[in-house]
A and B are shown apart, each in its own frame.
Chain A
Amino acid sequence: MNAVSIRGVSKRFKGGTTALEDIDLEIEPGEFISLIGPSGCGKSTLLRIVGDLIEPSGGDVQVNGKPARQARRDHEYGIVFQDAVLYEWRTVSKNIALPLELAGWDRGRRQARVDEMLELVELVGFGEHHPWQLSGGMQQRVAIARALSFDPAILLMDEPFGALDEMTRERLNAELLRIWEASGSTVVFVTHSIAEAVFLSTRVVVMSPRPGRVSRVIPVDLPQPRSQATREDPRFFELATEVREALHLGSGDAPSLTEGVL
């Protein structure tokens, strides 16, 4: 049974835009999949269809062997958005504990899990802070802690580091990989960044717009665990180039002959 099984999914919005057409994708448990593509290729829409936050116009999505709707009800996945969406009136701890409260966990169990999560995202000691007291990168770590707090099998992430600066982004990429290995979850990660996609993923799914479809799936054979050294590996550049070329092909731009390597 695959973690995520997307078959023939399409999505047409009112007004006639075809956001997605005939998407087929099988994701095995434990994989780290990136969805990358230009604006309008439907990657965020696809992510939300997997999370049953948008209904597809056609096709079928199974998550852990269940229809997407049932998977949402059973809390099979956690989701992280580009905007951390932390509730300002709650402390960091209470934000992380939110899904646990909703699931009816008792206070003791909640506190124990929150402490675990704070350790996982390296924010020990910040439990009683309020979101506005944290930097953007820290807020995203809280959002990740919240998404993983109830131990979902799947993590959906929509450009979670998009609003952060490059250095924080690279650091959080490394942390995310560490968390991924520690939790053993399956990750579906939407991004605009080629470097990020290659660094993080086991496979990169390149999408093209108008209408949104999968143009190529590129397996990333870089060794695990990955580190800063990986970013300087020649194979890393090769894969990034492959992804870039697939992107240009997909959106119909010819790659420029004078373009730099990265």
Chain B
Amino acid sequence: MTTIGRRGRDWAPAVVVLVAFLGLWEGIVRGAHVQRFLLPAPTAIWTAFSSNQGQLWHEGWVTFQEALGGFAIGCAAGMLAAVIVARWDLVGSALMPYAIAANAIPIIAFAPITNAWFNPLTKTAHMVIAAVLCFFPVFVNVVRGLRSVRPSQIELMRSYAVGELTVFRLVRVPIALPFLFTSLRVASVLAMIGAIVSEYYGGALDTLGANIEQDASLFQFEKAWAEIVIACILGIGFYLAVALLERLATRWQPRAEMVGA
């Protein structure tokens, strides 16, 4: 069987489940006459989607820009902070406990506050919370990655009498890369959450979050669900893009044969 044939066979069960699930959903909503504010039928959501496509994709794009901007800033800051902390132990022992704690708290709780600090009608307010959400997991993981270098790996470089920067470039960075990419995948999801949820508390009229919130409160649930579907597509797409980048950058990693992934 060809690779495509084999891949198709791996995916087939999942596709069947999706079709069955949608069919069941449609059937139950129609058969039980479920109220639209509880659960619209997939066909109703599709109608809302196709008749507002241009607007919906535009909203998605605006929100995605906020997520992407926050992601870029937060991850870059996280990487920089990690390099500094890993290099200077004293700074590290002072700051790491707080970073680890911050990684555990629901930072999204700050959304109404960042909306008060920055004008929520601009992209900035939402980028800020997305950036903060991305910063901590990247920071903690990159520090871990940089610190996971074995002494013998450094000893070998010392026997070649090279400078610290060369050791950093040739040894520490490649070792930290897998750790970095794991956190980037997590951050991509968090960035979308940050952008959308902060938009719930106040966002411009052409953002996804503000519209989901508004449409739900106006009982236009089919449209709200359609917007949620857009959010899902963007979120998954973002994650997959990062995952693809990870694959390309760490091609040397031994990989077990993954089924259907």
Residues on A facing B (Cβ under 8 Å): 51, 53, 72-73, 75, 77-79, 81, 83, 85, 87-90, 98-99, 102, 130, 132-133
Contact = CB atoms under 8 A, between A and B. Distances in A.
B155 A53 contact: yes
Interface residues of B, number: 19
Given A73-B161, A102-B166, A81 B156 contact: yes
A90 B171 CA distance: 11
A90 B150 CA distance: 16
Contacts of B158: 53, 72
Contact of B160 (A81, A102, A132): A102
A72 B162 contact: no
A197 B160 CA distance: 27
Interface string B98-111: 00000000000000
A198 B127 CA distance: 69
A79 B156 contact: yes
12 contacts: A51-B159, A72-B158, A72-B159, A72-B161, A75-B160, A81-B152, A83-B150, A85-B153, A89-B174, A89-B177, A89-B250, A98-B160
Contact of A81 (B155, B162, B170, B254): B155
B252 A88 contact: yes
Contacts of A51: 159
A163 B143 CA distance: 30
Shortest Cβ-Cβ A-B pairs, 3 listed: A89-B174, A89-B252, A73-B161
A51 B252 CA distance: 31
A53 B254 contact: no
Contacts of A77: 159
A88 B174 CA distance: 9
A85 B152 contact: yes
A108 to B, nearest CB: 21
Interface string B41-59: 0000000000000000000
A78 B156 CA distance: 9
Contacts of A53: 155, 158-159
B162 to A, nearest CB: 6
Nearest to A83: B152
A89 B153 CA distance: 13
Q: Is the interface of B mostly helix, strand, loop or mixed?
A: helix
B140 to A, nearest CB: 22
Given A130-B252, A132-B254, A87 B159 contact: no
B21 to A, nearest CB: 40
A110 to B, nearest CB: 15
A157 to B, nearest CB: 12
A72 B159 CA distance: 6
Nearest to B162: A102
A99 B160 contact: yes
B182 to A, nearest CB: 16
Contacts of A78: 159
A97 to B, nearest CB: 12
Nearest to A156: B159
B159 A79 contact: yes
A40 B158 CA distance: 24
Contacts of B156: 79, 81, 85
A160 to B, nearest CB: 12
B3 to A, nearest CB: 21
Nearest to B158: A53
Contacts of A79: 156, 159
Interface string B158-197: 1111100010001100100100000000000000000000
A144 to B, nearest CB: 13
A88 B175 CA distance: 9
Contacts of B161: 72-73, 75
Contacts of A98: 160, 170
A50 to B, nearest CB: 11
A78 B152 CA distance: 14
Contacts of A75: 160-161
A171 to B, nearest CB: 24
Given A72-B158, A78-B159, A98-B160, 11 more contacts: A53-B155, A53-B159, A72-B159, A73-B161, A81-B155, A83-B150, A85-B153, A85-B155, A88-B252, A102-B160, A133-B254
